[in-house]
Structure 1
Amino acid sequence: MDFAILLLVFLFGLLFGSFFNVVGLRVPQEQSLLAPPSHCPTCKKQLKPIDLIPILSYLIARGKCRYCRAPISSVYPLIELATGILFAAVYAVYDFTPVAWLYLLFISLLVIITVSDLAYRIIPDKVLLPFFLVFLVLRFFIHPDETYLSHLIGMVLGFTIFYIIAIVSGNGIGGGDIKLFAVVGLFLGYPLLLLTILLSTFFGAFYGVLLMIFRGAGRKTKVPFGPFIALGALLALFKGYDLIAWYFSFFY
């Protein structure tokens, strides 16, 4: 593996992470991705190229707008860094194969919905639907670990399980989460979907307990579930079969 190429993929990941921030923040608000240009949400000052360097601009400005000194959310650089690392990880494992490009698309979806769900508690259909259609077609041709039928079963299970939960719990889970699980099931197939459900539920519950302990949150406190679905799906994507084998090793 060429380290220079790995570094280049990481840097491209940072750039895409910056773009995913824009998509995740603007699409739910029905805003154009091109206009208005990037600006400070507080003082509305248009940002210059020096303000838009992923991670570096945030560090140089010490997490504040250079013009009005309003604090900038740490979510921006964290999303950029996470995207860079994930892009580099895909290249390190899969090189520039068709599987790698497909995985990059899946990671892109997960990053975008994480941004939108953290910002607005929304997972927009305008993001989910295009990715769903692309995965529906591409998984027909690229399915090295599971059959295409397994991916279709995963899609149906992902939607059905959480649609039933939403009805039983009285809309305790959002419609965006239900549709996201359908897309995740389509992409991963049903064995890894079930693992994703287990992992995301565990992470979400653990975070909820921390909120109750340290911030006095109650049972009715609303927490965006999309980021936990994304985290579970990422672990399933990279280490899913290893985790399943490790789990069953305790019984056999």
Structure 2
Amino acid sequence: MQILYLIYFFIIGTVFGSFYNVVGLRVPKKQMFQSERSYCPHCRHTLSWYELIPVFSYIIQRGKCRHCKAKISMIYPLVELFTGFFFAYSFYVFGFQFELITALFLTSLLAIIIVSDLKYMLIPNQVLLFFLPFLIVCRIFSPLDPWWSPIVGALIGYLLLALIIIVSRGGMGGGDMKLFGVLGIVLGYKGVLLAFFFSTLYGTVIGAILLSLKIVERKKPIPFGPFIVFGSLTAYFFGDALVHWYVSTFFYTLKNI
């Protein structure tokens, strides 16, 4: 039965992931609530239902539009797989506990952030404001210990990024700052600090690799949102285990010096 539930959450996640692609692409352009159906961004042909099956349509069409043969961005299937995987993993970790709802909302928010930041280097306020009340309610019904951790976490996340923006004179964006404020509610003060650490680590390492491979230019800005996404997920799912491992290893090393 566990496997069936995991498959179910994965499939549901890919379906939602397909929708989050649309949200991430349209909300920054203020097109989200138009009645227009999904279409090819190149030839603007309205897509049929069988061209919108998550992941499979991309594979069957070999990553190209059936009509104009233009390449379809890899963002689409990757976000669908991302959402499917973390929906399933959230169920694997939490089962039918209330925290599962928190994990699904967090995954949904981060999936949209990946799309919008990669496409436009923008984290829309509308998306953050939509998810904010749901995440607050989730933390009320599934509180952290201590209870004030989400409040302090939101303040630390917001103010830490604000300080970095001031010191670096715009080295990070206001969207990153607001996103960390929202993430602080979910992760708490310890988790948001871990999320910042991992985000910075991933950004530094991957950025250096991209520069060394000359995939990006030295002065060309790189969207930081995807690094925040994976840094936050690392802190959310593995933060406690990583901190416990680090502390136990540190004290073991001190004891044997």
User: TM-score surpassing 0.5?
Assistant: yes
Counterpart AA for 1:91: F
**C-alpha distance in 2 between matches for 1:220 and 1:162:** 21
Contact 2:154 2:189 in 1 (8 A): yes
Matched, 1:149 2:187: no
Structure 1 residue matching 2:249: 3-state secondary structure: coil
Which residue is equivalent to 2:43?
Answer: 43
Could you give the per-residue CA deviations for residues 52-82 of structure 1, whole angstroms, max 9, x where no partner exists?
Answer: 0000000000000000000000110011011
1:63 aligns to what? Answer: 63
The Cα offsets for residues 190-238 of structure 1, whole Å up to 9 and x where unpaired, read as 1111111110000001121012211174543201111100101111111
Aligned to 2:254: none
Give the paired residue count.
Answer: 251
- 1:167 is displaced (CA, Å) by 0.7
- Name the aligned partner's letter for residue 2 of structure 2: D
CA distance in 2, matches of 1:48, 1:205: 41
Kindly indicate whether the alpha-carbon contact (under 8 Å) linking 1:152 and 1:186 is maintained by their aligned counterparts in 2.
yes
In 2, the alpha carbon distance for the partners of 1:48 and 1:20 equals 18
Task: Please list every run of at least 4 consecutive aligned residues from structure 1 whose deviation after the TM superposition is greater than 3 angstroms.
Answer: 216-219
**Whole-angstrom CA distance in 1 between matches of 2:185 and 2:138:** 11
Following TM superposition, by how much is the alpha carbon of 1:148 offset from its aligned partner in structure 2, in angstroms?
2.6
Equivalent residues in 2 for 1:1-252 (5 A)? 1-33=1-33, 35-143=35-143, 145-215=144-214, 217-252=216-251
Aligned-CA RMSD value: 1.3
Other structure's SS at 2:219 match:
coil
Counterpart secondary structure, 1:249: helix
Q: TM-score, normalised by structure 2?
A: 0.94
Q: What SS is found at the alignment partner of 2:250? A: coil
Q: Is the 8 A contact 1:23 1:33 kept in 2?
A: no
> Is the CA contact (8 Å cut-off) linking 2:99 and 2:138 kept in structure 1?
no
Deviation per residue, 1:27-62 (Å, 9 max, x gap): 011003452100000000000011000000000000
Amino acid at match of 1:109: L
CA distance in 1, matches of 2:42, 2:94: 42
Question: Could you report, residue by residue, the CA deviation over 1:166-193 in whole angstroms, capped at 9, with x for unpaired residues?
Answer: 0111111000000001111111001111
Quick one: which amino acid aligns to residue 30 of structure 1? K
Q: Amino acid of the residue matched to residue 15 of structure 2? A: L
Q: Which moved more, 1:25-34 or 1:111-120?
A: 25-34
| Structure 1 residues 33 and 7: alpha-carbon distance in aligned structure 2, compared to 1, 3 A threshold | farther
Q: Which runs of 5+ in 2 are unaligned?
A: 252-257
Identity between Structure 1 and Structure 2 (%):
45
Aligned-partner Cα distance in 2 for 1:170–1:35 = 41
Amino acid aligned to 1:191: K
Distance 1:137 1:57 in 2: 36
Inter-CA distance 11–34: structure 2 relative to 1 (3 Å threshold): farther
Using structure 1 for the length normalisation, give the TM-score: 0.96
